[in-house]
Amino acid sequence: MIQFRDRGARGHHRGALVDARHSFSFGHYHDPKHMGFRSLRVINEDRVVPGAGFPDHGHENMEIVTIVLQGRIRHRDSLGNEATIGAGDVQRMSAGTGVVHSETNPSEHERAHALQIWILPSEQGLPPSYEQKHFPPEQGRNQFVAIATRDGREGSVRLHQDAAIEIARLDEGNILTRTLSPDRGYWVQVIGGVIGLNGTEMREGDGAAMTGEALLSIEADTDAELLLFDLQ
């Protein structure tokens, strides 16, 4: 079964400083039909104007993955980490017993565009931790590349959950296929371009939950970029 999540049906918060789209319930946006998918709790697409961002705020017991698509995000947290996350970078922060952090766009001219993903950890009360790695665009050309996994395979950041996030950047006309496990769930999130997912068109911002499917087939109708979540 495939359940599609139309980009236009997502929650939307548009302020003077941040324009945010929510695939699942988040903050003031609440939809009991879209509370997450398996251990995947949040996919937020944020566009942040120069100099703006999210001031100090706290989290507990959550795996938070940030993927910058354009521009830069400056990160600071109560663990003492200070870093700038640029396009192609993936950051994983395990909030565990509690962490306070801030995220801002340090640019004076360029808007930042990022995805923030929350995944529920397999255990509560873990020690907070931080990790950041770079995945150059050519690394994910016409193939799936693991960027976040439980075991850190292929140089990915580590998640405290039986879950994986993979990225693919496809040239127009390319097709990727994957055999799926019947006891797992899969979520596809289109970052850019137009694809056919098992024959159904999807565009930037669209998502889809897959359960009980034997095969994943993605055809790039244009140059495209997407994320694949593999979830227990």
Rounded Cα gap, residues 127 and 104, in angstroms: 25
Structure confidence by residue, pLDDT tens digits, 69-107: 999 999 999 999 999 999 999 999 999 999 999 999 999
Structure confidence by residue, pLDDT tens digits, 170-216: 999 999 999 999 999 999 999 999 999 999 999 999 999 999 999 99
Structure confidence by residue, pLDDT tens digits, 141-153: 999 999 999 999 9
Domain boundaries, the chain: 2-231
| Three-state secondary-structure class, residue 151 | coil
Rounded Cα gap, residues 158 and 153, in angstroms: 8
Rounded Cα gap, residues 129 and 138, in angstroms: 29
Q: Is 122 left (phi over 0), alpha (psi -120 to 50) or beta?
A: alpha
Which is it for strands 53-59 and 40-48: parallel, antiparallel or unpaired?
unpaired
Rounded Cα gap, residues 182 and 140, in angstroms: 26
Topology (CATH level 3) of domain 2-231:
Jelly Rolls (2.60.120)
Rounded Cα gap, residues 39 and 177, in angstroms: 24
Q: What is the pLDDT of residue 194?
A: 98
